Each structure stands twice: as structure tokens, then as C-alpha cells.
Amino acid sequence: MGIEALIVFLIIGAVAGWLAGLIVKGYGYGLVGNIVVGIVGAFIAGLLLPRAGFGMGGGMLGAIISATIGAVILLLLIRLIKRA
């Protein structure tokens, strides 16, 4: 993985984590937290969305949308665990 790919990976994670934080109100983790939430969300979306029959296509916009969906799922799961 080159440095350019790593930077793009981190930017997509940060944007996805930030968007998920806006969608799921009350969850702001700062820049590093948003990157982690976005990256983990991308992993979750990569596992769940193809099995559900959803394909986002290629490109950066598809990656951001997919990672945001996964990050929202992650934040909702965190909210459920905190309430229990």
C-alpha cells in the first residue's frame, strides 16, 4: 500500500465517521475517533452489504457511502450496548 492509498483510506474513514456522527446524534469522537469509526464501519459494510444484495459500485463516493452505512450500524450497536 502506497502513501497515497493510505491517505485516501484515512480521508474516507474520517468523512464516513464524521457523517455517521451527524446521523447518529450525540456521538462525536474527534478526528482520530471518527477515522477509527469510519474504518471499522467500512469493514462492517464490506461484510454485510454484499450479503444483503447491496452494491455501492466503485469510486470514492461509493466507498464513503458504504463506510458511512457501516459506521452508522456500528454507532447504533454501541448505543445499544451502552444502554444495556
Q: Residues 36-76: pLDDT tens digits?
A: 888 898 888 888 888 888 776 778 888 888 889 999 998 89
39 close to 13: Cβ distance less than 8 angstroms: yes
Please give the pLDDT value at position 30.
77
Mean model confidence pLDDT for the chain: 84
Model confidence, pTM: 0.84
